[in-house]
């Protein structure tokens, strides 16, 4: 198990502005004040493991004696040897701060600031992985991102990594959602073919879509729609 703590996070204000659909002006100036107060509350860290795939199945893989079940995982990891299960969080402080605001707009802005921080930390982790293991291209999948890898698979994923709570303070609730809320989990794997879970997800109105829906590829898996 390896821990990177802290992951330095510098918020990209252009990205934040875009996600908030805001233009420079009074409201944006207020957001910048929020960014200033939010910055010290962002405590990004990650725990991950380097695993060699022990068994491959059409509907999953076995890592460290634990089976992960998903037809997407089975197919995408068919050529992989070494993979990197991970859990990454920005900690609980920002979402605790959100509760101190009564106005919806401020809570919403802090929520989006948290999302941008989480994405920034995840990108930084990905770059560090690539550099350390001399990998050119990587893709990732997470439990719950698609019905073809359901959310309850968080449990075996966490078991593979180890004591995630002691490492970075992230736990699972009874619905397998992560606490703190601003956390992400999954598996990074080297690949020559670019892949995003969004390619298999038909959701039309998702503001976070990273790749167009690929109906032909999605038809290879059942069920086809998304959980989030």
* Cα(145)–Cα(211) distance, integer angstroms: 14
Q: Residues 110, 113, 160, 198: which binds ligand SF4 (CB under 6 A)?
A: 198
Q: How many residues bind ligand SF4 (CB under 6 A)?
A: 10
For residues 2 and 214, which CB has a smaller minimum distance to ligand SF4 in the complex?
Answer: 214
Token pair, residue 135, equals 């990998």
3-state secondary structure of 41: helix
CA 67-196-128 angle, to 5 degrees, is: 80
What is the number of H-type helices and E-type strands within the chain? 8, 11
For ligand SF4, the binding residues in 114-153 under the rule CB under 6 A are: 145
CB of residue 195 to ligand SF4, shortest distance in Å: 12
Site membership for ligand SF4, residue 203 (CB under 6 A): yes
Q: Residues 37, 166, 208, 217: which binds ligand SF4 (CB under 6 A)?
A: 208
Run of H or E residues at 32: helix 26-38
Token pair, residue 52, equals 């060699």
Binding string, residues 15-44; x marks residues near ligand SF4 by CB under 6 A: ------------------------------
Q: Alpha helices of 162-203 — where are they, by DSSP H?
A: 164-168
Site membership for ligand SF4, residue 226 (CB under 6 A): yes
CB of residue 3 to ligand SF4, shortest distance in Å: 27
Q: Residues 123, 137, 152, 228: which binds ligand SF4 (CB under 6 A)?
A: 228
Site membership for ligand SF4, residue 197 (CB under 6 A): yes
Binding string, residues 151-170; x marks residues near ligand SF4 by CB under 6 A: --------------------
3-state secondary structure of 180: coil
Q: Which stretch binds ligand SF4 (CB under 6 A): 5-13, 30-38, 169-177, 199-207?
A: 199-207
CB proximity list for 36: less than 8 A, separation 6 or greater: none
Phi-psi region of 94 (alpha: psi -120 to 50; beta: other; left: phi over 0): alpha
* Cα(200)–Cα(149) distance, integer angstroms: 11
Contact residues toward ligand SF4 (CB under 6 A) are 145, 197-198, 201, 203, 206, 208-209, 226, 228
């Amino acid at each position: 198990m390896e821990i990177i703590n802290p992951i330095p996070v510098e918020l990209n204000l252009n990205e934040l502005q875009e996600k908030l659909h805001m233009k420079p002006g009074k409201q944006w100036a207020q957001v910048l004040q929020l960014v200033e107060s939010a910055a010290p509350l962002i405590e990004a860290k990650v725990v991950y493991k380097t695993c060699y795939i022990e068994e491959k199945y059409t509907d999953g893989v076995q890592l460290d004696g634990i089976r992960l079940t998903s037809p997407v995982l089975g197919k995408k990891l068919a050529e992989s040897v070494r993979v990197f299960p991970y859990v990454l969080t920005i900690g609980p402080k920002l979402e605790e701060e959100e509760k101190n605001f009564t106005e919806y707009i401020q809570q919403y802005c802090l929520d989006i600031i948290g999302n941008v921080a989480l994405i920034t930390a995840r990108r930084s982790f990905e770059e560090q992985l690539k550099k350390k293991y001399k990998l050119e291209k990587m893709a990732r999948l997470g439990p719950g991102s698609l019905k073809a890898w359901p959310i309850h698979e968080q449990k075996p994923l966490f078991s593979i990594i180890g004591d995630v709570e002691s490492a970075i303070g992230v736990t699972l609730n009874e619905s397998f959602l992560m606490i703190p809320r601003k956390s992400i989990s999954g598996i990074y794997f080297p690949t020559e073919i670019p892949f995003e879970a969004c390619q298999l997800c038909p959701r039309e109105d998702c503001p976070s879509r990273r790749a167009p829906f690929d109906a032909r590829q999605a038809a290879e898996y059942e069920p086809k729609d998304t959980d989030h």
